[in-house]
Amino acid sequence: QTRAMADSSTSSVSFSLKRSMSDEPLGHRSPPQELAHAFDPEEVKSWDPDRFFFVKKLQDATRNQGTVILMRDLLEPRFVAVKVMPNHWVGSSHENFLRMHPWETELPWQDVGTAKYLASIGWKYSMELLGVFRDKHHTEVVSEYATHGDLFKWCSDVDLDLGPSREEAVWPMVVQVLQGMRELHEMSISHRDISLENVLVTDEEGPVPKIIDFGMASTSRFVQTTTGKKAYQAPELHADEPVDSFLADAFSMGVTIFAIYMKDYPWTNTLDCKCFLYAKENGIRGLMSKRKVKNSSKRFIEVMSEPFVALLEGLLCFNPSGRLTLGETAFHDGRPSVWEQVWVRYGP
């Protein structure tokens, strides 16, 4: 499967897809202002090649110039996911990395620090960080292994036709990811790169999402840097002005939910893709009424329930002031959230 997407006319384009709910306010927790500082570089241990047995390569970690490998921890024993990054890239600490790469937005020590912090408070939607190791040439970040891969793989494995049965099948996963993102924001952490690839799925008496890759995360709600994958970026990120990262994450969640269900993307980017420009002119509902399902004469809107379309419309609102929130207590003005949406609250 390719994760590349092509731009085409809006009527027949089909992009190749790549790679418990509560209304009560959540307790506010305060992570370190600098997330990377939740991990002390002195905790890095020497890599023991006799402890970890190579099983297979899982994927490239391109932005970190590395690779993610499935290995067997012979000490425990258990399967683990190991992100291997070159030392000349990752450096010896967060400060060292920033000195070497002052313009980089993907911060590996920030990812490690956030993962450690979230695991330390027992957050349900995080993967456990098992340790950071180093040998002569590489730094190895060892985490628990997700049994079902990422959301890209999971939604592809849900082998149901578009329609009521597929909506029903993906609903529990969508609600859990929304809840996870809501809780993250209540801890004053915005992800800023949420996508199918950055949510893993593991089995804990049923599939549970695990949010990963916090290299672009921030504890500053209002930010100005552009982050995230092009198809998921909120339109306001292109304006070179401070944006509300909670609402930018909400837009990315809209794209993620769309992709989970459709196994497709609404557009290739939120700048000049023809589908995005059509939606900007005619609205999300207009785009859904125009685009056809791959290998079908049906339009997108014909294979979606009305409550599901309403949810997507709310999350993919181009103006952040009208966008649905994820239910954060930071919004005191009573503005609508996803938790009031019929599809989320009651299911398909």
Position 70 in a domain: yes
SS (H, E, C) 23-47: CCCCCCCCCCCCHHHHCCHHHCEEC
Mark whether 116 and 187 lie in a shared domain: no
Mark whether 136 and 182 lie in a shared domain: no
Mark whether 87 and 135 lie in a shared domain: yes
Position 123 in a domain: yes
Mark whether 111 and 157 lie in a shared domain: no
Q: What is the pLDDT of residues 207-231, one digit of tens each?
A: 999 999 999 999 999 998 889 999 9
Give the whole-angstrom CA distance, residue 304 versus residue 221: 33
Mark whether 124 and 224 lie in a shared domain: no
For the residues 245-250, what does the mean pLDDT come to?
98
Mark whether 253 and 272 lie in a shared domain: yes
Lowest-pLDDT range of 61-70, 171-180, 259-268:
61-70
Q: What is the pLDDT of residues 165-224, one digit of tens each?
A: 999 999 999 999 999 999 999 999 999 999 999 999 999 889 999 999 999 999 999 998
Q: How many domains does the chain have?
A: 2
Give the whole-angstrom CA distance, residue 252 versus residue 150: 16
Mark whether 238 and 290 lie in a shared domain: yes
Q: What is the pLDDT of residues 69-127, one digit of tens each?
A: 999 999 999 999 999 999 999 999 999 999 999 999 899 999 999 999 999 999 999 99
pTM to 2 decimals? 0.90
Residue 202 belongs to a domain with what CATH number?
1.10.510.10
Residue 14 predicted with pLDDT over 80: no
For the residues 239-258, what does the mean pLDDT come to?
97
- Grade residue 6 by pLDDT with cuts at 50, 70 and 90: very low
Position 5 in a domain: no
Between the alpha carbon of residue 63 and those of residues 71, 83, 213, 254, the distances in Å are 21, 12, 11, 24
For the residues 293-300, what does the mean pLDDT come to?
92
Mark whether 68 and 202 lie in a shared domain: no
Position 307 in a domain: yes
Mark whether 328 and 234 lie in a shared domain: yes
Mark whether 200 and 125 lie in a shared domain: no
- pLDDT of the residue at 117: 95
Residue 31 predicted with pLDDT over 70: no
Domain end call among 109, 144, 179: 144
Give the whole-angstrom CA distance, residue 177 versus residue 38: 24
Position 28 in a domain: no
Position 316 in a domain: yes
Beta strands in 160-235 (DSSP E): 199-203, 207-211, 222-223
Mean pLDDT in the chain?
Answer: 91
Residue 97 belongs to a domain with what CATH number?
3.30.200.20
3-state secondary structure of 210: strand
Give the whole-angstrom CA distance, residue 248 versus residue 232: 9
Position 7 in a domain: no
Residue 135 predicted with pLDDT over 60: yes
- pLDDT of the residue at 62: 81
Residue 46 predicted with pLDDT over 60: yes
Mark whether 100 and 83 lie in a shared domain: yes
Position 265 in a domain: yes
Of 325, 329, 321, which Cα lies nearest the Cα of 339? 325
Q: How many CA atoms lie within 13 A of 89 on its CB side?
A: 17
Q: Where in the sequence is the domain holding 184, given as residue range(s)?
A: 151-346
- Grade residue 318 by pLDDT with cuts at 50, 70 and 90: very high
Domain end call among 110, 144, 178: 144
Domain end call among 114, 129, 144: 144
Residue found under tokens 């425990």: 76
Mark whether 252 and 140 lie in a shared domain: no
